[in-house]
Amino acid sequence: SPAPLSNFLRTIIDNDLAKGRYAGKRWAGKPGPASVQQQGSVDTAQIRTRFPPEPNGYLHIGHAKAICLNFGLARDYHGACHLRFDDTNPEKEEEEYVNAIIDMVQWLGFDWTYGEESNCYFASDYFGYMYLFAQELVRAGHAYVDEQNAEQIRAMRGTLTEKGKDSPWRNRPAEESLALLEEMRQGKHPDGSLALRAKIDMGSPNMNMRDPVMYRIRHAAHHRSGNEWCIYPMYAWAHPVEDALEGITHSVCTLEFEDQRPFYDWILNHLAELGQLSLPLPRQYEFARLNLSYVVTSKRKLLQLVREGRVNGWDDPRMPTLAGLRRRGYTPESIRLFCERLGVSKADSRIDYSVLEQALRDDLDPKAMRTVAVIDPVKLVITNYPEGQTELCHAPRTPHDSAAGSREFPFTRELWIERDDFKEDPPKKYFRLFPGNTVRLKYGYIVKCTGCVKNEHGDVIEVQAEYLPETKSGTPGSDSVKVKGNITWVSAAHAVAAEIRMYDRLFSDPHPDAGDKDFLAALNPESCQVVQGWLEPGTQAAPGATWQFERLGYFVADRHESTPEKPVINRAVTLKDSWVQ
């Protein structure tokens, strides 16, 4: 594959490596404080990055950007990328999400092993180390137990224009804080009654430095540590500690954490001074998150769609989750291609959904086998073709690879064609079937339309035509008659019946949750139209099978519901962008 495009992170890493910042450092292959890490063998990973999802929902397309970035850096720099579950919020996290995240990272084509190391970790496994670190910080006078409740703490925090005020408990003796911290841990105090805070600066212009809360009391069971803990660390200090325990070199996160960086460094520098962490310390870098039009990516909103039954679960093919995209027919290659095209920058921008769709087309076009489907069928009767007669027509499996060979399917007197391919009164420039016009039945004969049959409501129920016997595709003289229209068809007696789900965008508003808009009001009422269609004879709709249906787009057999006997087909994407305004 081509050399990756340069970006500001690669420039930083190139410089770090040129300076030998990580040369000769040791890593035990096991996360831990300085005492543990130094016992390891020589580290061969040049750099370490991490992807740190919170297991409180399914991964979405935004996460794919972070995954491709972090695992991509590790791959290109002979480094390791850790998959770390940032599971420090017991109430919202579940085992189901852990498994779904593992599944999706692997599906995207990445893995967290590095040589003998399997770098899949859980922040909750570090709760013990975090507690020791908190005690060290208290002993050194860098943290204290505050007896104010959350509301009081908030009120004393000040505003952007007004300095905060010191808590009355700020200068209590370290022994007092240590004893209270231990009581907090032992469950002697109710939720919210006490908190451990870093002692930094209530006058700092950076609100995150105004004595941020480090531990809060939560008497809640954790999906992994059970009831072992009733104090849980806040993200802002847990995260740098997790990075340091794992020997992460470059901690890449989205821009909204920029203001947290001073606290990130504060925590790590103090713990390093106290001899708790091995050097060099990880450094945080920020990049612009992916904002994609026509979707929402907040996990809270995605959860709401699922809970309220607006979609059929996290992997509904209209969902921007990776599980949904997979079910919709997206390939891992198409998502990686999309992320490559996005690049990495520090400037926030919004990407149009069509960029994602185009990546899928570009990935599938060279590799998807072609087949024919008729999704809005009307009968075409070839009135001069003998009843009961069958002959085979041939078509390439794909126009891009002659080695893939050809497919064959029968031509008969009664065919299914698209309703849209016939008009009794054709508009200008309509080159398909209308009385008196000739078109080619793709891979078959040229036919001349002679009329149609209607029911009592005036709906066309049958189109009629006569075929021109000397014009079969691939035979000499087949192009003696010139036609402008070329339409697809399947033999009615041989076609495979299928349920086809014509998916479209879930939201019809390009910015469904901009400002304080009600994103539910922007749901596209036509995001899923189910039709009964007909597939080319011989189509094997095994779950996950993907094709280009000629003229229609890319389709996939639903991975849960499709069987060869009863195909259920999802439209992944149309051939062209139909949303261009």
Please list the active-site residues.
Answer: 54, 289, 299
Min dist CB 178 to Mg ion, Å, is 30
Q: How far apart are alpha carbons 337 and 108 in whole angstroms? A: 11
- In the list ligand ATP, Mg ion, none, the entry touching 98 (Cβ below 5 to 8 angstroms by class) is none
Q: How far apart are alpha carbons 508 and 554 in whole angstroms? A: 21
CB nearer to ligand ATP: pick between 302 and 381:
302
Residue 236 sits at the vertex; the CA angle it makes with 233 and 240, to the nearest 5 degrees, is: 95
CB nearer to ligand ATP: pick between 54 and 365:
54
CB nearer to ligand ATP: pick between 7 and 193:
7
Q: What is the 3-state secondary structure (H, E, C) of 414-450?
A: EEEEEHHHECCCCCCCCCCECCCCEEEECCCCEEEEE
- In the list ligand ATP, Mg ion, none, the entry touching 289 (Cβ below 5 to 8 angstroms by class) is ligand ATP
Tell whether residue 467 is among the known ligand binding residues: no
- Which residue of this chain has its Cβ atom nearest to ligand ATP in the complex? 62
- In the list ligand ATP, Mg ion, none, the entry touching 512 (Cβ below 5 to 8 angstroms by class) is none
Min dist CB 143 to ligand ATP, Å, is 25
Min dist CB 302 to ligand ATP, Å, is 8
Residue ranges binding Mg ion (CB under 5 A): 54
Return the number of other C-beta atoms located less than 10 Å from residue 418's C-beta: 21
Min dist CB 66 to ligand ATP, Å, is 4
- In the list Mg ion, ligand ATP, none, the entry touching 253 (Cβ below 5 to 8 angstroms by class) is ligand ATP
Q: Could you tell me the end-to-end alpha-carbon distance of the chain, in angstroms, rounded to an integer?
A: 35
CB nearer to ligand ATP: pick between 10 and 442:
10
CB nearer to Mg ion: pick between 34 and 303:
303
Query: What is the torsion angle, in degrees rounded to the nearest 10, for the CA atoms of residue 278, residue 280, residue 281 and residue 287?
Result: -150
H or E element that contains 303: helix 299-307
- In the list ligand ATP, Mg ion, none, the entry touching 47 (Cβ below 5 to 8 angstroms by class) is none
CB nearer to ligand ATP: pick between 65 and 199:
65
CA 43 to chain centre: 32
Is 286 within 8 Å of 346 (Cβ atoms)? yes
Tell whether residue 392 is among the known ligand binding residues: no
Tell whether residue 76 is among the known ligand binding residues: no
H or E element that contains 14: helix 8-18
- 162: exposed, middle or buried (C-beta count within 10 Å: 0-12, 13-18, 19+)? exposed
Q: How far apart are alpha carbons 110 and 83 in whole angstroms? A: 10
CB nearer to Mg ion: pick between 49 and 562:
49
How far CA 415 is from CA of 422, 464, 492, 493, 536, in Å, comes to: 13, 10, 5, 8, 11
158: left (phi over 0), alpha (psi -120 to 50) or beta: left
Residue 210, amino acid: R
Return the number of other C-beta atoms located less than 10 Å from residue 412's C-beta: 18
Task: Tell me which residue of 65, 100, 497 sits closest to 327, measured CA to CA.
Answer: 100
H or E element that contains 374: strand 373-374
Tell whether residue 231 is among the known ligand binding residues: no
Query: What is the torsion angle, in degrees rounded to the nearest 10, for the CA atoms of residue 212, residue 218, residue 221 and residue 224?
Result: 20
Tell whether residue 222 is among the known ligand binding residues: no
Tell whether residue 239 is among the known ligand binding residues: no
Residue 427, amino acid: P
Tell whether residue 223 is among the known ligand binding residues: no
Tell whether residue 488 is among the known ligand binding residues: no
- 331: exposed, middle or buried (C-beta count within 10 Å: 0-12, 13-18, 19+)? buried
Tell whether residue 55 is among the known ligand binding residues: yes
- In the list ligand ATP, Mg ion, none, the entry touching 419 (Cβ below 5 to 8 angstroms by class) is none
Residue ranges binding ligand ATP (CB under 6 A): 52-54, 62-63, 65-66, 253-254, 289-290, 297-299
- Going by the annotation, the residues of the binding site are 54-56, 60-66, 86, 235, 254, 289-290
- Going by the annotation, the residues of the binding site for ATP are 54-56, 60-66, 254, 289-290
- Going by the annotation, the residues of the binding site for L-glutamine are 86, 235
